[in-house]
Amino acid sequence: MTRLAPSPTGALHLGNARTFLINWAMARANGWRLVLRVDDLAGPRVKKHAAQDAIDDLRWLGIDWDGDAIFQSQRLDLYRAAMRDLAQRALVFPCDVTRRELEDALAAPHAPVRGGPQGESRFPPELRPNIGPCDFDHVAESTSWRFLVDAAPIPFTDHFAGPQTQNPADTVGDFIVWTKDGEPAYQLATVADDHHLGVTDIVRGDDLLDSAARQLLLFRALNFAPEPRFFHLPLVVGEDGRRLAKRHGDTRISAYREAGVSPERVIALIARWSGVQTAPDEMSATQFSEVFDLDTMPKEQTIFTSKDDAWLRARS
């Protein structure tokens, strides 16, 4: 069982289309069930039509899934139940420390090294309050909650990227699981959903590799078993080495569709990028799933160039 989990904060582009296509092909090749889960909890960053646009783009590429799309915004009870459980067992704590206070603590002499993954500040243990069991539903609204992180390395196997050891205590410390806007943070929502959906295999971009240990900590704290297997795939980047974005031109799937490029052409480019040796100039999603082999997928990032863009458009 696996999931495609688009965030409706922007349009699908060649980079995330590649990850979704590979995830889909692995599901079809291995007989995994596949759900589409829309991660629409990112508050104001969620764009109104982006979820439907992503669904349209995926269908245009020939990617399908089992059952109806699932929206995280409609599953708040699930996340609250997880929080109640963690709060009762004193594994999370309400935290009113402001960003300013956090910055000040980090600026103090002998402050711990700052800079967790994705620019998060590490929460210093000295700011921890006394922590005891509490009732999640009775703590005032508009406070965030953090998960208590013990200092311990977390070894795990990534089935694409290889053996990993991460120590969240060193990078992010006690991390946020519930925001002061009354929404679960990504880490909590994704773990609760992955468990309740029965997800066994998580295939996603390696920008999320550094979230894996935090998610394993939550799986364990919530007694959610079995833990999923992770496959973190390298991203598509521009010639400047930065992750694909507007500055690299319009690489949205919808832009190619509107320019008359066929889905088979887009998939053929993705196949070339993904270690498929004999990729023809056009290829359907089903053909891709028949020839894609994770073992020959390049371990390094794919660089999107203007030649790729020209190649896509050449036949349109």
Residue ranges that bind ligand GLU, judged by CB under 6 A: 5-7, 39, 190, 204, 208
Tell me whether residue 7 or residue 251 sits nearer to ligand GLU (CB atom). 7
Q: What is the DSSP string of 57-75?
A: HHHHHT---SSS-EEGGG-
- Name the token pair of 201: 């295999």
**How far, in Å, CA of 291 to CA of 287, rounded?**
7
Tell me whether residue 3 or residue 122 sits nearer to ligand GLU (CB atom). 3
CB of 209 to ligand GLU, least distance (A): 11
Residues 6+ apart with CB under 8 A from 312: 256, 261, 265, 266, 269
Tell me whether residue 207 or residue 308 sits nearer to ligand GLU (CB atom). 207
CB of 42 to ligand GLU, least distance (A): 8
CB of 6 to ligand GLU, least distance (A): 6
CB of 39 to ligand GLU, least distance (A): 4
Q: What is the DSSP string of 104-148?
A: HHHHSTTPPPP--GGGPPPB-GGG--------GGGS-SS-EEEE-
Tell me whether residue 7 or residue 166 sits nearer to ligand GLU (CB atom). 7
**How far, in Å, CA of 146 to CA of 156, rounded?**
23
Tell me whether residue 136 or residue 160 sits nearer to ligand GLU (CB atom). 160
User: Dihedral of CA 123/135/137/212: which sign?
Assistant: positive
Phi and psi at residue 94, to the nearest 5°: -70, 145
- Name the token pair of 19: 């990850």
CB of 94 to ligand GLU, least distance (A): 25
